[in-house]
Amino acid sequence: MADILPPNLLQERPRTPAGLLSNAEKDRLIERGFLGLYRWYTARSQETRNWNADRSFDWRHLRKDLPPEVVTVMQGFFAVEQYAPDFTSQLVHLVRRSHGRSHFQLRWGSEEEKHADAWENAVLFSEQRSPEWIAEYKERLRSQTWELPFPDAIHNLVYTVFQERATQLNYLNMMKIAQGKSEKPHLAGVSDPVLAKVAQTIAVDEAAHYNFFLEGVRMYLYYYPERTLDAIKNVIGQFSMPAASLVPDWQEFSETVYRAGIYGPRDFQRDVMQVAFRNLGIESRKALEEGIRKTREVPDFEGQNARTTAIFDTFDYGQIEGDVRRLHVKIQDYEQEIGFDKLDPTEFIENPEVPRQGGQAADD
Ligand SMILES: [Fe+2]
Ligand SMILES: [Fe+2]
């Protein structure tokens, strides 16, 4: 902040109360967490998910008689994923000052790019779209640019948590269809092992993405609860899938996806929002909104304690502290394996604002 405040205001900056972490220290801890997590993630990604969009699938044996609805869905998946260069460049730029986050976004982008190529292969090998049609479609898509859904890093981080989980769910449900497990009469008995493998492989990547961003949001929630809860509330208030406004036949795609039992508003409520909330120690959307409202009702001048209590009542901070601790243990194990621990270890530092056992805030 100091570098954007005019010099005459520098003296008026609120000081950090004794015993609490300054924002600079919180930022440093979050940055270290991201760097450690990024290193762990990259090693794991290369060891366990190093697949290739061309060679990892038996494309010649993809069925040529897939129901047209399935091809429409694959085409929509391709349309969204092929904005990978836009997603990546915009997000990298947003977090370029953070080593862990910007390098992660490059790695993430390289995985999203494989998803685009795999879905394009699926559309092509279905033989229900000509190569010329695909080329033209791609040109139409690429004539538009995807923009960030939110202007700042914390909102975009929260957005990606919900978006990655929603994407994973879409692919898992596509996998079920390809395994012949659809409950919808028009898709019953569709069985395509190649398509099932494609959907499953990509869904595993999306789960890994979800976990990375989730760990990031947990760190923010732990060190900056008020700001993070606010971002969560704003994001779920206006959530839509990425590129929904850019894909020309979006309406047809989303209706087909809904009718196929792949994804719809109820799935978002139950299998995206509720799952993410559970992983973030938030009981429900109602509890979140209530908590934020109560926090705002506490006037600043009444002192920090009442306000802090109201924030920490909004979510299960004990759960989040446990999660952030576990993340650090995972990072420390990795650092020991490599030898970073001897030179530059990542350490977990408790947030003293978090109420301790017996309901007393540490600064009471
Ligand atoms: Fe993806
Ligand atoms: Fe993803």
197-236 pLDDT, tens per residue?
999 999 999 999 999 999 999 999 999 999 999 999 999 9
For residue 11, the SS3 value is helix
What average pLDDT does this structure show over 186-205? 96
19: nearest Cα among 357, 358, 351:
351
pLDDT above 70 (res 9): no
Task: Measure Cα distances from 229 to 27, 92, 287 in Å.
Answer: 17, 24, 11
The answer to whether the CB of 41 falls within 8 A of the CB of 170 is no
| C-alpha–C-alpha distance, residues 335 and 341, integer Å | 5
The answer to whether the CB of 29 falls within 8 A of the CB of 340 is no
Strands (E), the chain: none
CA–centroid distance, 78 to ligand 1, in Å, is 9
CB within 8 Å of 168: residues ≥ 6 apart: 203, 206, 207, 210
The answer to whether the CB of 330 falls within 8 A of the CB of 221 is no
The answer to whether the CB of 140 falls within 8 A of the CB of 227 is no
Among the bound ligands, the one closest to the CA of 117: 1
**What is the per-residue pLDDT across 132-181, written as a single tens digit (0 to 9) for each?**
999 999 999 999 999 999 999 999 999 999 999 999 999 999 999 999 99
CA–centroid distance, 206 to ligand 1, in Å, is 6
Q: What's the burial of 159, exposed, middle or buried (CB within 10 Å: 0-12/13-18/19+)?
A: buried
Q: What angle do the packed helices 225-237 and 304-312 form, to 10 degrees?
A: 50
| C-alpha–C-alpha distance, residues 43 and 241, integer Å | 29
287: nearest Cα among 240, 234, 214, 229:
229
Q: Compute CA 31 distance to the chain's CA centroid, rounded to the nearest angstrom.
A: 17
CA–centroid distance, 256 to ligand 1, in Å, is 19
CA–centroid distance, 112 to ligand 2, in Å, is 6
Among the bound ligands, the one closest to the CA of 160: 2
CA–centroid distance, 24 to ligand 2, in Å, is 30
CA–centroid distance, 167 to ligand 2, in Å, is 7
CA–centroid distance, 204 to ligand 2, in Å, is 9
- In DSSP terms, 191 is beta-bridged to 179
Which fold is adopted by the domain 51-202+242-279?
Ribonucleotide Reductase, subunit A (1.10.620)
Among the bound ligands, the one closest to the CA of 113: 1
Kindly state the tokens that stand for 100.
Answer: 């862990």
Mean of the per-residue pLDDT values of the chain: 92
Q: What are phi and psi of 191, to 5 degrees?
A: -135, 120
Cα angle vertex 12, ends 11, 14, to 5°? 110
Q: Would you place residue 360 in the very low, low, confident or very high pLDDT band (cuts 50, 70, 90)?
A: very low
For the chain, the domains span: 51-202+242-279
CA–centroid distance, 191 to ligand 1, in Å, is 23
pLDDT for position 295: 86
| C-alpha–C-alpha distance, residues 264 and 249, integer Å | 17
CA–centroid distance, 48 to ligand 1, in Å, is 17
CB within 8 Å of 53: residues ≥ 6 apart: 114, 115, 117, 118, 121
Among the bound ligands, the one closest to the CA of 162: 2
CA–centroid distance, 36 to ligand 1, in Å, is 23
CA–centroid distance, 353 to ligand 2, in Å, is 33
CA–centroid distance, 354 to ligand 2, in Å, is 32
CA–centroid distance, 61 to ligand 1, in Å, is 23
**What is the per-residue pLDDT across 37-59, written as a single tens digit (0 to 9) for each?**
999 999 999 999 999 999 999 99
CA–centroid distance, 352 to ligand 2, in Å, is 34
CA–centroid distance, 75 to ligand 1, in Å, is 14
pLDDT above 70 (res 106): yes
